[in-house]
């Protein structure tokens, strides 16, 4: 992407965010790591920072969002609204066109970030079997046709991976990518 992007600065900022998250997981009372396991916690596992997984995506806004039921890790069903679709390419794959991910909110005009749960070809092997999440926080209302940056290096593992006290939505099939996304958090 050519947007005045400074890859060295970006990688430093990403590593700083990762170190801050590791401190939270190791020390904070609200950490998803069970208290008895925190002393032995030495940080989360991450794929190396990779600028190629920072992609430009074309936005489609869904003015009348469709409800999308999502199963959770506890066997419940939660309802989200599909508010956006992001179309992008990743390293020339797939050869037949763009990849798509959908963004959800529980309320269409909410102030919460746009929730982007996904699975990819690393799921269950190099990344958590329940999928990974991203959250996008646009600084304004997005319009159809706009380009935004989707950075898979910010993909994270849901808290339910670390503790059964959390109940996490599982990515719906429409957000299962046919490629491997070796970016963001991974499992060891």
pLDDT on residue 96: 53
Three-state secondary-structure class, residue 106: coil
Domain count, the chain: 1
Q: Record the tokens describing residue 23, joined without a space.
A: 């401190």
Block mean pLDDT (10 aa), the chain, length 188: 78 96 95 92 95 94 95 96 94 69 85 93 97 92 94 97 94 96 95
What pTM was estimated for this model as a whole? Answer: 0.91
Torsion of CA 116, 68, 138, 31, to 10 degrees: -50
Assigned domain for 56 exists = yes
Assigned domain for 47 exists = no
Question: How many residues are present in the chain?
Answer: 188
Quote the CA–CA distance of 152 and 133 in Å, as a whole number. 9
Assigned domain for 1 exists = no
Assigned domain for 62 exists = yes
Quote the CA–CA distance of 185 and 151 in Å, as a whole number. 12
Assigned domain for 141 exists = yes
Give yes or no for a contact between 24 and 31, defined as CB atoms under 8 angstroms apart: yes
Assigned domain for 105 exists = yes
Assigned domain for 115 exists = yes
Structural domain range at position 164: 52-186
């Amino acid at each position: 992407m050519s947007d005045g992007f400074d890859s060295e600065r970006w990688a430093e900022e990403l590593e700083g965010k990762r170190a801050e998250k590791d401190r939270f997981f190791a020390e904070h009372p609200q950490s998803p790591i069970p208290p008895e396991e925190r002393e032995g916690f030495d940080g989360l596992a991450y794929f190396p920072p990779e600028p190629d997984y920072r992609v430009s995506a074309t936005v489609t806004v869904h003015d009348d969002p469709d409800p999308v039921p999502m199963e959770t890790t506890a066997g419940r069903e939660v309802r989200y609204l599909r508010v956006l679709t992001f179309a992008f390419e990743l390293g020339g794959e797939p050869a037949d066109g763009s990849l798509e991910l959908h963004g959800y909110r529980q309320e269409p005009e909410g102030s919460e970030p746009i929730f982007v749960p996904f699975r990819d070809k690393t799921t269950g092997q190099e990344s958590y079997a329940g999928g990974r999440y991203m959250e996008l926080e646009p600084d304004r209302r997005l319009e159809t046709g706009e380009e935004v940056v989707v950075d898979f290096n910010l993909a994270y593992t849901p808290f339910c991976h670390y503790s059964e006290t959390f109940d996490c939505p599982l990515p719906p099939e429409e957000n299962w990518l046919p490629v491997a996304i070796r970016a963001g958090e991974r499992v060891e």
